[in-house]
Amino acid sequence: MSDKKLQFGINNTSDEWFKAKIDKKVLKELCRRSDWSGWRHIIVYFTSIIFFGILATYTFGTWWFLLFYWPYCVLYNASDPIWHECGHRTAFKTRKLNDFFYYIGSFMDNFEPIRWRWSHSLHHSYTASSVDPHDYEVDHSIFAKPSFLNFLLIFVPGIGLLSIHKSSSLHREILLHALGVKTSVMRECIPEDQQGKCIFVSRIFVSIWALIILYSIFFMTFLPIFLFLIPKFFGNLHAVWGITQHIGLQENIKDHRYTTRSIRLNPIFSFLYWKMEYHIEHHMFPMVPSYNLPKLHEVIKDQLPAPKKGLLDAYKEIIPAVIKKYNDPNYFIPVKVPS
């Protein structure tokens, strides 16, 4: 796909999607960003992860390490909402703060930031599209079509290390980009004038990985590897709510109410997810900061399907759908929307 065609699609296709009716003044107010709201989340998040990181470091080599390392990994995986929110540049009012934490969140999440800024724009414009243009996030777990056994294994901490050749696709992609290989996602999503930047940042990521490994070898300790390279394999709790976004729902339809699922979470999970459980609302109005999504929901809830009342309510429909969809790829969960 040419850059011109891609740019045209991203800018205009979203207008063809169904959008809930909302007063323009109300929407403008909901789109207002706040440095304080962004800093509040970032300060609590990094204070928490540093706290458990220190405890894990202090107890490394003892059984107590496991007690502190698992919550550290859960928090490490909560960098995904930081990557996501700052990628939309809605976390902070100040653009530089969004970009700064976007790069940090991207490294923690193993997402090369240039690639994912463009592919995620495509994801919003062509959500769940398996045709041209292809939504590359379909290839990841939020749209997974696994067997029921493989579905259950997603939630087992550390399981990815047993099949690292399959579960490290993001690492492999970054390595290919660092070597200058133009993958299909680079060719189809990233404009040519940005591809060199993608390669450069990929090389920085790979260099940091190499330095961490060399440091571990030189000082004969696995601790840096545990803290900075493999936490993504152990903080699987994030997948419990992250996978609810789209799995089992309809594809190739221009109405987020059918392709996307909103749920309700307890305050701790909601914080870790940075309120992305309001996922229909986010897809419909991606420029509304996550901390304003509950307010947005109250304004347009009469035009949306009822949100799932917690994770159990969501998985009551997800688990049967996973089983049915594995046997019938055309199956999708029917959604009732207000007339």
Element (H, E) at 71: helix 64-77
Q: Is 323 exposed, middle or buried (0-12, 13-18, 19+ CB in 10 A)?
A: middle
Global confidence as pTM: 0.86
Q: From CA 273, how far away is CA 277, in angstroms rounded?
A: 7
> Residue 122: its pLDDT value, please?
72
Backbone angles phi, psi at 323, to 5 degrees: -65, -45
Q: List, for residues 51-62, the tens digit of each pLDDT value.
A: 999 999 999 999
Please answer whether residues 87 and 279 qualify as being in contact, where contact means their C-beta atoms are separated by less than 8 angstroms: no
Q: Among residues 233, 256, 250, which one has the least CA distance to residue 325? A: 250
Please answer whether residues 328 and 248 qualify as being in contact, where contact means their C-beta atoms are separated by less than 8 angstroms: no
Supply 65's token pair.
Answer: 């390490």
Q: What is the mean pLDDT of each run of 10 residues along the chain (339 residues)?
A: 37 65 97 97 98 98 96 95 94 97 95 89 62 56 63 80 67 93 89 94 97 97 96 87 91 89 96 96 95 97 97 96 88 92
Q: List, for residues 165-223, the tens digit of each pLDDT value.
A: 555 778 889 999 999 999 988 988 899 999 999 999 999 999 999 999 999 999 999 99
